Amino acid sequence: MLVACVALLSSAEGYAAGAADARVYVGVGRADITPLTGGYKGGWACSCAQALGQHTRLYARVVVIKEGRRKIALVAEDLSFLGAGMVRDAVAIVKRRGFSERNVIDSATHTHGSQTGFMNFGTYNSVLPKSGHLTKFNITNTAADPTLYSFMVRQLAKAIARADDDLAPGAVGWGHTDLLRVTQNRSLEAHLANYGIKEPPGTGNVNQDPGGYRDTIDPSVDVLRVDRLRHGRRVPVGMYSAFADHGTVVKPTFSYFTADHQGAAERVVEATVRRAGHVPRSQDVVNAFADSDAGDMTAGIVHNGPAQAEWVGRREADAMMKAWRAAGRSMTAHPALDLRWTRVCMCGQGTSDGATDSTPVIGQAAGAGSEELRTIFYDEGLAREGDMLPADVGPQGDKVQSVRESGNVPQAIPMAAVRLGNRMIVSIPGEATVGVGKMVRRAVIAVSGGAGIARVVIAGYADEYLSYWTTPAEYERQHYEGGFTLYGRTASLVLRDTLAELARRLVTGKPPPAPYAYDPNEGVHPTGAGYGLGAKKGKASMQPKPVGRLGHVAFSWHGGANGLDRPVDRPFVTVQRRAGRRWRRVADDLGMQIVWSSDSNGGYLARWEVPLSARRGRYRFLVTAKRYRLTSRTFRVRAAALIHAVARGGRLLLRYPHAVIDQDWTYRPSFAAGGAVTFLVDGRRFVVHESRARMFAIPAGAHVVVPAGGARDRYGNTNAARLVIR
């Protein structure tokens, strides 16, 4: 779950009008929030989800916008979830900069490859046993690790401060597009219940939705583009983006911390914006990716593994860049800016469809786990989606009540509505389904559309985490999401009504409702010491060997335990290529090509997955630890005989090997684009060249053969096997 924060500064209460002619100032920054190895990953909640190393760094990314006396900070953290107590502690550090609990919105990417063990309420630090070990594992609430919690708080504060320090005159603008055929509704039958259609789990069809497939998901990609003025020209420095997609493409069997598909989208966008805007190296570029109403949205059923996560992320990045370019046509230096914030207690209040519960309850259906990965309770036959009572029992409706969580999860939750230009950003403290998202958007537009609000952007997983939010109809079907809707059948109506009221008060210039007095810290504060400096020196234990493209080359050494040697905010493992007398960086562990692991004995293993386009030549590993520097022996990268030539209807395609789930971790295309193929046609030699096309025309002849090594992509990789076409 990733985090996106929004803060607003005006008067002491934050609601006075800013200067109408004030120019907008923008700034961006980030901070590394990757923890030590050996801990568990959040979201999967099973003991198989242990992180022994790192695939992608995890970050808090921040966009700060200031206009007159008002300031807004959009922060995005690569996390599965976070707590309001952590946000409160972080903004206390930067209080003098104008940030407080009342003017920060915090949303998440919801990557299930990030850490757990830092939540203020222990329920969300719990880890379940592996299959077959149900009676051998103590399933309890777990207190936050003080060192990890303190690290998270301080790094979040550092990210906000860096963006604040980066402020300069600029402009902002909104763009939007839709992204289809990437996500699906994983609880389709619960979704269909919104239309009075009741089907047993696993039997529904998207065509049963009156709007078809498109209506079963949230395809919205919303982007706030941020440019700054530099030497008389506008320079793009990033965006705040929102899209609904669970961070579950990479499964817990991949034993590395990873930002999942969101990490790929973030990095691809940042690199693309940097190139498109000719952004100088000294200027950071960020894509603060806030997950939206993704409670039942996922790409993680069809797609599996880190290489597929990069494919999904690239699709998201393409859509974000399309919206970013559209935003470039409507940039303004004077956006309307305002915010309303409150805190609401889930204390059994009434709604238009009955009262909520005042006690949080987990349903039996939640024990089954989601469609991406079932739990041990599902494996043991103890829980299934659709487990429900024959009739409603109080505020918890049809839920088969399994665990009463009184005192172990938040009871009061923060919510906010932010106006920025012609958009209204509303925060949801947890995982809203697409049905809840539609319900909230309709309610907010109903009260604010007449005041110039064109679209509502949902910042999900924001400010606090209170599991799931389902519509009353979805709740009664008791799928996984309904089982984890803690305060009962009508809880989402409190969410809807509160956000609509905040939006109404915002556009009419009225103050927000008084917040419920509540301490979200649960006694947890940043009191832990830092991680330490790690080993003074490292010693190589295995040297790299020659490698072909798409292969893996490894280097190992001995140092401090559990990744303690890794520096924060800068590369740890780098791959360099010899260029004349100099060594040039080609990849590092801030990107997506390198994985490294570290055990409790101080053993390190770094591996590089060589790209298709890597130049042939001499390479080496460089390890830059906190207190030592270590280089490997040189190794050679060569072109590889990895292509498989495939004949299809008079055309030839050059197919690359599929990525092996959990063993390969970078995206590679299915087919080569461009290259040359040598055909032997009735004993004569013909060469067909293509600059970028995927298909090569097969010459006519009675006997056509592609010899081994006869097919080459544009990087020089070849086919190992001879192909007889006719």
Tokens 């529904």 found at:
204
The reply to whether 304 and 334 lie within a common domain is: yes
The reply to whether 193 and 329 lie within a common domain is: yes
> Are the C-beta atoms of residues 706 and 653 closer than 8 Å to each other?
no
Tokens 């979704």 found at:
191
The reply to whether 92 and 169 lie within a common domain is: yes
pLDDT at 16: 37
Going 641 to 642 to 647 to 651, the CA torsion angle's sign is: negative
The domain boundary residue, chosen from 638, 668, 693: 638
- Is 470 inside a domain boundary? yes
- Is 382 inside a domain boundary? yes
Q: Which helix (H) or strand (E) holds 165?
A: helix 146-165
The reply to whether 291 and 413 lie within a common domain is: yes
The domain boundary residue, chosen from 603, 638, 673: 638
The reply to whether 656 and 567 lie within a common domain is: no
Per-residue pLDDT tens over the stretch 12-51: 333 334 444 589 999 999 999 999 999 999 988 777 889 9
The reply to whether 44 and 159 lie within a common domain is: yes
**What is the domain-level CATH number for residue 552?**
2.60.40.2300
The reply to whether 278 and 412 lie within a common domain is: yes
d(CA 467, CA 227): 35
- Reference 36, options 467, 717, 667, 564; nearest CA is 564
Q: How far is CA 347 from CA 494, 515, 615, in A?
A: 11, 14, 63
Q: What angle do CA 630, 634, 639 make, to 5 degrees?
A: 135
Rounded mean pLDDT for each run of 10 residues along the chain, 726 residues in total: 36 37 89 96 84 97 91 92 96 95 88 96 84 52 90 97 96 98 98 97 97 98 95 92 98 96 98 96 96 98 98 98 97 94 96 96 94 88 93 94 88 96 97 98 98 97 96 98 97 98 97 96 92 95 98 98 97 97 97 97 98 97 98 97 94 96 96 97 95 95 95 96 93
Per-residue pLDDT tens over the stretch 333-374: 999 999 999 999 999 999 999 999 999 999 999 999 999 989
pLDDT at 359: 96
- Is 164 inside a domain boundary? yes
The reply to whether 235 and 154 lie within a common domain is: yes
- Reference 112, options 293, 269, 268, 298; nearest CA is 298
pLDDT at 46: 75
pLDDT at 102: 85
Tokens 């030497």 found at:
231
Count the domains in the chain: 3
pLDDT at 44: 86
The reply to whether 485 and 594 lie within a common domain is: no
> Are the C-beta atoms of residues 257 and 352 closer than 8 Å to each other?
no
The domain boundary residue, chosen from 571, 605, 638: 638
- Is 48 inside a domain boundary? yes
pLDDT at 5: 37
pLDDT at 141: 58
The reply to whether 391 and 453 lie within a common domain is: yes
pTM of structure: 0.95
Q: What angle do CA 659, 663, 668 make, to 5 degrees?
A: 25
The reply to whether 633 and 660 lie within a common domain is: no
- Is 315 inside a domain boundary? yes
The reply to whether 19 and 152 lie within a common domain is: yes
Q: Which domain holds residue 647?
A: 641-724
pLDDT at 69: 86
Per-residue pLDDT tens over the stretch 493-507: 999 999 999 999 999
- Is 521 inside a domain boundary? no
pLDDT at 132: 56
- Is 313 inside a domain boundary? yes
Pairing of strands 552-558, 603-609: antiparallel
> Can you tell me whether residue 403 is helix, strand or coil?
strand
- Is 527 inside a domain boundary? no
